[in-house]
Amino acid sequence: MTVNSPSLLITDDDVDFRATLREVFEPRGFRTLLAADGEEALDIVQRERVHLVLLDMHMPRLTGLEALRRVKLFRPVLPCILISARLDESITQAALEANAYRVLPKPIGLRTITDVVAEALADVYHWRQES
């Protein structure tokens, strides 16, 4: 499957972080969807066309790891990137066992996040960002 204009779901309980990522990705041609927690992310993935999910680890109601595990039950190929300010080996291992595309520490550089998103979309959908 190829994708022309990818949809990116940004899930984080920090409204400023969500807004910053939206400001980074929308000018690059992404359709961005925002969720404040894992429950909201699951609702969006079930009703919207989403090509990639960014998940913060530590959120109310449902952690990023729990949301990742649930997303993979009904969308096993959907690339999910887990991000955490309090990353440790157990979180990383659990995320990789749940088939996370990548696990990244916060704070995260813009170049890193845009490169990893582009890599995931290229791997899964053969997407190439236009220059």
CB atoms near residue 34 (< 10 Å): 17
Mean pLDDT on 49-58 = 97
Kindly list the distances between the CA atom of residue 7 and the CA atoms of 3, 57, 88, in Å, as whole numbers in the listed order. Answer: 9, 20, 29
Mean pLDDT on 31-42 = 97
The total number of structural domains that make up the chain = 1
How many whole angstroms separate alpha carbon 1 and alpha carbon 35? 25
Copy the structure tokens of residue 73.
Answer: 């039950």
pTM of the model: 0.95
CATH of the domain at 46: 3.40.50.2300
**The pLDDT of residue 2:** 53
Question: Is position 130 within any domain?
Answer: no
How many whole angstroms separate alpha carbon 101 and alpha carbon 116? 9
> Are 81 and 116 contacting, i.e. CB atoms less than 8 angstroms apart?
yes
Tell me which residue range forms the domain holding 74.
Answer: 7-125
DSSP secondary-structure letter at 99?
Answer: T
Question: Is position 131 within any domain?
Answer: no
- pLDDT tens for 76-125 read 999 999 999 999 999 999 999 999 999 999 999 999 999 999 999 999 99
